């Protein structure tokens, strides 16, 4: 049996600056890891400072003849991910016709966050109903 050392094959996918790198990678790599495991590749994101391009290197250890197929599949899935992210960004960002200002549609706050109005309302409610809670509070009054 012959012990061949696997060599590495690289391919690069160029994306525009419109895609945020953090969203491309995802939280702890949640966008890239499934692609890497499905295709058997290692995906590395490299951002060059002077350019407006993000180069994605797909590194494959060649052990059999299906390496080209795995590279193409990983490249295709990465391009799909980039397209999905750019579509989401385009939906978020809308430009007005004459001023060319950026408008973002209003975002509803998460259900677990309360806004300040409801907090003020709760404080006012506690102040208004303080007479009801006084009877439950321990009375530690000292008389001289």
139, part of any domain: no
Higher pLDDT: 92 or 52? It is 92
Determine the structural domain holding residue 20 and report its residue range. Answer: 1-129
23, part of any domain: yes
- For residue 42, list its beta bridge partners: 59
Looking at the predicted structure, is the pLDDT value of residue 101 above 80? no
Q: What is the pLDDT of residue 125?
A: 57
Q: How many domains does the chain have?
A: 1
CA distance 63 to 4: 8
Q: Name the pTM for this structure.
A: 0.50
Q: What is the CATH number of the domain that holds 19?
A: 3.30.1370.10
Higher pLDDT: 55 or 46? It is 46
Q: What is the pLDDT of residue 123?
A: 64
49, part of any domain: yes
Residue 43 backbone dihedrals phi, psi, to 5 degrees:
-110, 130
Looking at the predicted structure, is the pLDDT value of residue 38 above 60? yes
- Mean of pLDDT over the chain: 66
């Amino acid at each position: 049996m012959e012990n061949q050392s696997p060599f590495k094959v690289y391919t690069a996918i160029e994306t525009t600056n419109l895609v945020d790198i953090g969203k491309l990678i995802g939280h702890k790599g949640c966008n890239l890891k499934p692609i890497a495991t499905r295709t058997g590749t290692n995906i590395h994101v490299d951002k060059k400072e002077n350019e407006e391009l993000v180069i994605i290197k797909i590194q494959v250890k060649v052990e059999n003849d299906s390496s080209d197929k795995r590279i193409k599949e990983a490249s295709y899935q990465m391009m799909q991910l980039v397209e999905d992210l750019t579509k989401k960004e385009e939906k978020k960002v809308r430009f007005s016709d004459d001023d060319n200002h950026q408008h973002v549609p209003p975002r509803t706050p998460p259900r677990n966050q309360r806004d300040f109005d409801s907090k003020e309302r709760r404080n006012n409610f506690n102040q208004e109903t303080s007479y009801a809670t006084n009877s439950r509070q321990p009375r530690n009054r000292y008389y001289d």
